[in-house]
Structure 1
Amino acid sequence: MVVRGAGSIQQVLRATLRALAYLLTGLVAGVAGLLWSLAATVTVAVLSVTQLGGPTFLAASWVTRRLAGLERHRAGWQLGAAIESPYTSITGDTIRRRVTAVAAQPATWRDLAWLITLFPIGLASGIAAAVVTAVDAGAVLAPLWLWAVPNPRAPFPADPLMTTAAGRLALVPIGLLVLPAAAWLIRRLAQLQAATASALLAPGTHRRLVDETARLTETRRRVVDAQAAELRRIERDLHDGAQARIVAAGMTLALAARKLRDPAHGGAAAADVELARRQLDDALAELRRLVRGIHPPILGDRGLHAALAALAGDSPLTVAVHGDPTARHPAAVESAAYFVVAEGLTNAAKHAGATACVVTTATNGTTVTVTVTDDGRGGADPAGSGLDGLRRRVEALDGDLTVTSPPGGPTVLRAEFPCAS
């Protein structure tokens, strides 16, 4: 308990010192930000009617962004982490287009707004923090210095506290009693200033929309690539599997028909017909396998849990399936989850040397989570072709796929799908 209490005091002390440093440096940053904002605004306004207007605006914006970047890092002292950059990439092959691209970003003007706003906020909070710190520290250290500052005209009760030894000693416990409140006030002022900085300097709606658009564009490209690869796989399997077997059965039947026309070989036709029947059976089995590879019928008939149980039954591993047997989800989610588990079991059997797997499905109302854990040797490559294909399938549904596979195992394959139910 004593150690924990000492640690708590140290944490409060460090937080207070960080807050005090943030507020005091805000005094200098506020003055510098205001002077730069005024100088940049006037310079750009004056030169805007000339050919130098565009380059001057770009140069001023570059400096403003660097100052704002310093403010984001400075706010990180109080927030625990630097504020993320809100800027989007600037494109344009001419100065005019680059100026338009920079001016169109709300972050450009929010940076300027913060550099101007920081002056009154930093001045007020910095002076308040400096005064509170100086007064409280002066009270605690009064016996060391107050004797050198005589003040015979001090009013009561300052006169006995400042001019007598007993009074100066009495200031010490008063300062210590006020110290927690002073520290709290300093931290609170720093929190308010950092929160204001975050509101203006953090990425806004524009940046989030740009990032979301880029993410959706990349996801769509990956989905298109995955679908094209899937079509090529189906075409290859049809050509090399079912189609070849059907062609072979047709040739066998044609040979049997020729033998039937020849009385001398009529008895041998029965064997050819039997061979053709087996070839057609193999072709039918191949077609069924392809259908299951596209979308297993059991998913639509009985749901994800039953499909995973059937998949576990066909696996050479010992597979335990945990989840709600009655839970149903959108068809796309169930299909993607099914193939995640299928790929996980296949990798565990072929590459990981596993003997057992545990498959778990869970739903928290908005997210469907599927986890495949094996007891293999680990070391799976998250960027491998098989896992990359799964990642594309999961990301197409705005989901997330993570692979944890340290050397020696176990390997954990986890897929999360958004699913409002």
Structure 2
Amino acid sequence: MTAPAPAPALAPQRGAAPGADAPLPPPRLAYDAQTWKEIAHLLANLPLSLAGFVYVMTVTFTGAMLSLTVIGLPLLALGLMGARLMGRAERARARALLGVRIEEPSPLPLRRAGGLQGMWLVLKDPVGWRTILYDLIRLPWGILTFTVALTSLFVLWPVLPFLARGLTNADRAMVRALLSPSDELERRIAELESDRGVVVDTAAADLRRIERDLHDGAQARLVNLAMGLGLAKEKLLEGQADDQVAAMVDEAHGEVKLALQELRDLARGIHPAVLTDRGLDAALSSVASRCTVPVKVTADLPARPAAAIEGIAYFTVSELLQNISKHSGARQASVEVWRSDDRLLVQVWDDGHGGASLDAGSGMRGLAERLDAVDGLFVVDSPPGGPTTVTAELPWRDRTEQP
């Protein structure tokens, strides 16, 4: 007589999304390690669902009562962040006892958001609200499953594995439906809302810089040029000495040359012609030649990336080299650029005194936010005493992929 085939093991369900057709384990009459885990899960449902229900009612009731005061919305936001943590604990319990493996939701992009913007992101967080809904509906379910499991331990022992599997399948379905991560679209919307603020602030700062440079530089010189040429014209009309007029015209000519140079520098700050014409290698060599520290540039690129990515890489290196010139006390530096799979990597190194960081308000922080806005990375390794290594990573897009 052949022995019955062992029941199939409970396979982990990876990344099951709400509404996905992930198969639930079939009912069976067998006591094994998985059955005891399911029984333990059912018995734990009551105390945990009770704690979750009390937390949710306290948070929502208190937040609603205080919504007209200055602390109401911040308190509700804190409650939603706490609900996220409770959801994480429930997903961990489902992994440990039910074999349901669900990816953790992406964290909210609070690092790039300000105080009010960050609070608004939390208040709109679908993950937190779905966790609150999960905890609200779990209390009656927790009472039912606890009662059935406890009673079956003494009364319905022969069919307890069958009951445990059926009840925990309902638990699995609830966890997948309400505690799975938001879909990719929701995550990207939250990130883009935060990135939009960064991009707008950066664009406004660039416009103010251009306006200031024009007003204080080229515009002032052109005004002086117009005044100088006007005086020269008056002296010519008055028949004064040619040498005096020649000196004024010579001075005006010098002002023209300086104004043209400042306009060229300004245009280079907007988008350098060498970057457009010759690519990132030549443009980085050009900006490195203006650094007060000797810089070795190495570029290993099989092709040119998209113009937007190329421009971000150029201005990132340009600002880092300016920091090296002004603050590092370095004797030498290097810039390396290469492609790795679908990423463009830039690394800037110097042997200065170190101590660079991403503290709020620093130039490094602004660079990190700019790269973060295009799904890039920005990592600073700068221990006190140096050396400093800054690595920037950008998504690679070929120039042919541009619209």
The TM-score range, normalised by the shorter chain, is: 0.5 to 0.7
Aligned-residue offset at 1:255: 1.4
1-side partners of 2:106 and 2:135: how far apart?
Answer: 10
Corresponding position of 2:342: 366
Q: Name the CA shift for 1:407/1:21 in 2 (closer, same or farther; >3 Å).
A: farther
Corresponding position of 2:317: 341
Q: In the alignment, is the contact (CA less than 8 A) between 1:111 and 1:201 conserved in 2?
A: no
SS at match of 1:205: coil
2-side partners of 1:391 and 1:105: how far apart?
Answer: 30
SS at match of 1:351: helix
1-side partners of 2:217 and 2:317: how far apart?
Answer: 25
Mapping of residues 176-215 of structure 1, within 5 Å: 203-206=180-183, 208-215=184-191
Mapping of residues 10-409 of structure 1, within 5 Å: 26-33=38-45, 70-74=89-93, 84=104, 107=131, 203-206=180-183, 208-324=184-300, 327-382=303-358, 383-409=360-386
Q: Name the CA shift for 1:321/1:198 in 2 (closer, same or farther; >3 Å).
A: farther
Aligned-residue offset at 1:420: 3.3
Aligned-residue offset at 1:70: 4.2
1-side partners of 2:212 and 2:33: how far apart?
Answer: 67
Q: In the alignment, is the contact (CA less than 8 A) between 1:365 and 1:420 conserved in 2?
A: no
1-side partners of 2:179 and 2:242: how far apart?
Answer: 86
Q: TM-score, normalised by structure 2?
A: 0.62
5+ residue gaps, structure 2: 1-31, 54-63, 66-79, 109-124, 154-171, 399-403
5+ residue gaps, structure 1: 1-19, 42-53, 56-61, 89-100, 128-194
Q: Given residue 376 of structure 2, which amino acid in structure 1 is its aligned partner?
A: G
2-side partners of 1:342 and 1:288: how far apart?
Answer: 16
SS at match of 2:330: coil
- Tell me the percent identity: 40
Higher relative contact order (CA 8 A, sep 6+): 2
Corresponding position of 2:387: 410
Greater percentage in helix: 1
Larger Rg: 1
**Number of aligned residues:** 301
Aligned-residue offset at 1:37: 7.5
2-side partners of 1:394 and 1:305: how far apart?
Answer: 20
Q: Given residue 204 of structure 2, which amino acid in structure 1 is its aligned partner?
A: A
Aligned-residue offset at 1:299: 0.9
Q: Given residue 393 of structure 1, which amino acid in structure 2 is its aligned partner?
A: R
Q: TM-score, normalised by structure 1?
A: 0.59
SS at match of 1:361: strand
SS at match of 2:356: coil
Tell me whether 246-255 or 231-240 shows the greater mean CA deviation.
246-255
Corresponding position of 1:177: none
Aligned-residue offset at 1:393: 2.7
Tell me whether 25-34 or 353-362 shows the greater mean CA deviation.
25-34
Q: Given residue 335 of structure 1, which amino acid in structure 2 is its aligned partner?
A: G
